[in-house]
C-alpha cells in the first residue's frame, strides 16, 4: 500500500511510531523510573504512599530533578525503535489481512485485529535477531539504570557502561534476562490494539443525521464521523486501561528478572512468582501499579495522538515539498 504521493505506508507507519516513542518517553520518563523502583522493591508488602516515598527519596538523596531522568538514553532508544517496529509490523499484517479478505467485507473483525496486533507484538518482542537486539538488551540496561541512583555502588554510569559490564560479567545471556515475561507482554499489545481498532471503528460508524428536506417523509442523509484528537484521546485511554488491568503482573516479573542481582536471587520465572507470592502476597504482583497508571495513560495519549497526527500529516508534507 502507498499513499497518493507514492510515499510508502511502511515508511509512514515506522516514522509515526518512532516519533511517538520519542515524544512519549521524553514527557513521561520520571514516572517510568518511579514505577521501576517500586517493581524491584522486595519488601514484605506494598505500602500506601509508596510512590510519594520513592519520589521523596530520589529528590532528597540523589541529584534532585536530574535524578528522575536517569536511564533516559536506553529508554528513548528502546521505546522509539520498539514503537516503530510494532506499528510497522502491525500495519503490514493488518494490510495483508485486509487485501486477502472478500472485497464485499468492509471491516476487519475483532479476531482479525487481535491476530494482527498479536502477530506484530510477537515480531516486536521475539521474532528475528534484529528485533531481539533492539528490545530486550536495551530493556535490561534501562531497568537496571532506573532501579538505582547514579551514586549507588555498582550502578551503571551510562548506557555504554552498562552494556560493557553486562557483557563482561554475565555474557550474552545477561542481555536476555526477563525475555520470557516480555513475551507474555505480547498479549497486552494484542488486547490493546484489538480494543483500540474496534473502538475507532465503532466511533467512526456513529452517524450524524443531516435532514435534506423539511418533509418528514423524506429520508435523511448520513455521513461517517471523521475522528479528531478528542476521539483518539478517549479511545486510546479505554483500550490501555482494558489491556493494562489484565496484563500488568508481567511487568513486575520482567523487572525482577532484569535487576542487577536477579541471577543470585531467582532461579527463573516460576521462582520469582513463588517468592513474590510467599513474601508479598498477590499485591506484590501489582507493585508500581499506581505510578504505572499515571504514566501509561499520558504516555498512551501522547503516543497515539502523535502517531495518528504524524501518520496523517506526513504524506501531505512530502507531497507539498
Per residue in 115-171, pLDDT (tens digit) is: 766 666 555 444 334 455 567 888 888 888 888 888 888 888 888 999 999 999 999
Q: Write down the pLDDT at residue 213.
A: 47
More confident: 240 or 179? 240
Rounded CA separation 160/172 (Å)? 15
Q: What percent of the chain has pLDDT over 70?
A: 75
Mean pLDDT of the chain: 76
Q: What percent of the chain has pLDDT over 90?
A: 3
Residue found by looking up cell 508488602 in the block: 45
Helix axes 249-258, 269-280, angle to 10 degrees: 110
Q: Write down the pLDDT at residue 164.
A: 93
Question: Between the CA of residue 189 and those of 50, 241, 286, what are the distances in Å?
Answer: 28, 12, 18
C-beta of residue 288 within 8 angstroms of C-beta of residue 28: no
Beta strands in the chain (DSSP E): 208-211, 220-223
Instruction: Count H helices and E strands in the chain, helices first.
Output: 14, 2
Mean pLDDT on 23-42: 85
Q: Write down the pLDDT at residue 168.
A: 92
Rounded CA separation 138/143 (Å)? 9
Using DSSP, state whether 216 is helix, strand or coil: coil
Rounded CA separation 156/141 (Å)? 8
Rounded CA separation 276/213 (Å)? 67
Which region among 133-142, 170-179, 229-238 has the lowest average model confidence (pLDDT)?
Answer: 133-142
pTM of the complete model: 0.59
Is the pLDDT confidence value at 215 over 90?
no
Topology (CATH level 3) of domain 9-184+247-319: Mitochondrial carrier fold (1.50.40)
Burial class (CB within 10 angstroms; exposed 0-12, middle 13-18, buried 19+) of 209: exposed
C-beta of residue 174 within 8 angstroms of C-beta of residue 167: yes
Q: Which of 14-18, 68-72, 217-221, 289-293 has the highest mean pLDDT?
A: 68-72
Which region among 89-93, 250-254, 260-264 has the lowest average model confidence (pLDDT)?
Answer: 89-93
Using DSSP, state whether 8 is helix, strand or coil: strand
Is the pLDDT confidence value at 70 over 80?
yes
User: Which among 253, 242, 313, 291 has a CA at the least distance from the CA of 54?
Assistant: 291
Q: Write down the pLDDT at residue 49.
A: 66
Mean pLDDT on 256-283: 87
H or E stretch at 285: none
Q: Write down the pLDDT at residue 75.
A: 87
Is the pLDDT confidence value at 87 over 50?
yes
Q: Write down the pLDDT at residue 123.
A: 54
Mean pLDDT on 75-95: 78
Amino acid at each position: 500500500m502507498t499513499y497518493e504521493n507514492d510515499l510508502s505506508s511502511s515508511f509512514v507507519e515506522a516514522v509515526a511510531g518512532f516519533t511517538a516513542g520519542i515524544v512519549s518517553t521524553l514527557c513521561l520518563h520520571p514516572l517510568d523510573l518511579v514505577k521501576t523502583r517500586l517493581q524491584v522493591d522486595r519488601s514484605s508488602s506494598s505500602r500506601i504512599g509508596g510512590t510519594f516515598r520513592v519520589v521523596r527519596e530520589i529528590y532528597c538523596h540523589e541529584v534532585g530533578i536530574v535524578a528522575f531522568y536517569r536511564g533516559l538514553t536506553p529508554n528513548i532508544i528502546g521505546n522509539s525503535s520498539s514503537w516503530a517496529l510494532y506499528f510497522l509490523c502491525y500495519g503490514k499484517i493488518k494490510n495483508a489481512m485486509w487485501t486477502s479478505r472478500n472485497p464485499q467485507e468492509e471491516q476487519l473483525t475483532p479476531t482479525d485485529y487481535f491476530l494482527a496486533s498479536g502477530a506484530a507484538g510477537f515480531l516486536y518482542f521475539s521474532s528475528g535477531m534484529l528485533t531481539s537486539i533492539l528490545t530486550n538488551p536495551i530493556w535490561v540496561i534501562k531497568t537496571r539504570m532506573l532501579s538505582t541512583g547514579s551514586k549507588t555502588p555498582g550502578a551503571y554510569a551510562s548506557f555504554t557502561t552498562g552494556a560493557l559490564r553486562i557483557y563482561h560479567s554475565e555474557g550474552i545471556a545477561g542481555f536476555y534476562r526477563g525475555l520470557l515475561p516480555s513475551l507474555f507482554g505480547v498479549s497486552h499489545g494484542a488486547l490493546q490494539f484489538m480494543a483500540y481498532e474496534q473502538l475507532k471503528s465503532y466511533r467512526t460508524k456513529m452517524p450524524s443525521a443531516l435532514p435534506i428536506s423539511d418533509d418528514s417523509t423524506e429520508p435523511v442523509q448520513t455521513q461517517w464521523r471523521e475522528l479528531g484528537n478528542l476521539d483518539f484521546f478517549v479511545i486510546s485511554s479505554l483500550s490501555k486501561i482494558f489491556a493494562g488491568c489484565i496484563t500488568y503482573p508481567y511487568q513486575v516479573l520482567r523487572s525482577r528478572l532484569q535487576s542487577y542481582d536477579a541471577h543470585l536471587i531467582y532461579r527463573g520465572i516460576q521462582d520469582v512468582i513463588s517468592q513474590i507470592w510467599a513474601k508479598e502476597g498477590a499485591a506484590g504482583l501489582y507493585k508500581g501499579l499506581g505510578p504505572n497508571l499515571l504514566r501509561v495513560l499520558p504516555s498512551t495519549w501522547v503516543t497515539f495522538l502523535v502517531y495518528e497526527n504524524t501518520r496523517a500529516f506526513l504524506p501531505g508534507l512530502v507531497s507539498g515539498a
